[in-house]
């Protein structure tokens, strides 16, 4: 059995993946700003952490006290549907703090706890893929996810001799609360619960076949 550290585990894909991993007998360290839904679940250890706050990340990692991490699933993210003319500096900063800076800082601090055969999985978006269909209002979100893709490729190159391996999943639309809030009335073709099966399997076995790769996982976006 493996130990997985999952961010954004309080709802959506992160929550569904955490539940499935625990059901399969794995140990799950689950991070979320709100951990109410994660309390009292066997094999899930929830921690209330805001990835936009570096001190909270540092304090959390200190609490791990050397626990070995097999899989780091960087799933947490913020989505905003905001036109360019209304996208102020503070909004860019808010989104990037979670989607990019917090992801990078957590990875930096967890890296010493991961073994050479470990797997870092970064959740990106089809919107961050060059040449994919783009949508008005997603400049901040999609550009932050493009940054995640580049980080994935660079980290894989840096870790290729020592491990762990690092890959990214560029997701199309998945029916989550975050998507519904940004695009009211839009129905995605797949639920978070259904998608969790794929995500967990990739977390546990993807490093055997891929390193530094960005897999486009979508049935609806070019």
DSSP state of 219: S
Of 206, 39, 209, 222, nearest to 123 by C-alpha is 206
Of 142, 141, 164, 140, nearest to 152 by C-alpha is 164
Task: Tell me which of 15, 47, 96, 141 is the catalytic residue.
Answer: 141
The number of beta carbons lying within 10 Å of the beta carbon of residue 25 is: 10
- Lookup result for tokens 């490093």: 207
Strand order through the sheet with 214-217: 44-48, 27-32, 3-6, 69-74, 114-125, 165-171, 214-217
Cα separation, 214 vs 102, whole angstroms? 20
- Lookup result for tokens 């695009």: 183
Joined together, the tokens standing for residue 160 give 């290729």
Phi and psi torsions of 212, nearest 5°: 70, 20
Q: Give the β-pairing of 69-74 and 114-125.
A: parallel
Residues with Cβ within 8 Å of 87's Cβ and at least 6 positions away in sequence, in order, are 80, 139, 140
Annotated catalytic residue 210? no
Catalytic residues: 141
């Amino acid at each position: 059995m493996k130990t997985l550290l999952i961010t954004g585990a309080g709802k959506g894909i992160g929550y569904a993946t955490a539940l499935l991993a625990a059901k399969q007998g794995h140990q799950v360290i689950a991070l979320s700003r709100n951990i109410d839904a994660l309390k009292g679940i066997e094999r899930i250890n929830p921690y209330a952490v805001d990835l936009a706050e570096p001190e909270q990340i540092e304090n959390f990692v200190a609490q791990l006290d050397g626990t070995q991490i097999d899989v780091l699933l960087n799933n947490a993210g913020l989505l905003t549907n905001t036109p360019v003319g209304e996208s102020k500096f503070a909004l860019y900063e808010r989104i990037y703090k979670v989607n990019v800076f917090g992801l990078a800082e957590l990875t930096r601090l967890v890296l010493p706890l991961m073994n050479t055969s470990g797997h870092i999985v970064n959740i990106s978006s089809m919107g961050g893929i060059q040449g994919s269909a783009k949508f008005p209002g997603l400049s901040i979100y999609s550009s932050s996810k493009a940054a995640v893709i580049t980080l994935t490729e660079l980290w894989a190159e840096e870790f290729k001799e020592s491990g762990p391996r690092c890959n990214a999943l560029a997701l199309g639309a998945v029916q989550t609360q975050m998507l519904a809030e940004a695009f009211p009335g839009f129905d995605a073709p797949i639920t978070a619960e259904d998608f969790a099966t794929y995500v967990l399997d990739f977390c546990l076995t993807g490093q055997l076949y891929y390193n530094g790769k960005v897999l486009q996982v979508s049935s609806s976006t070019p």
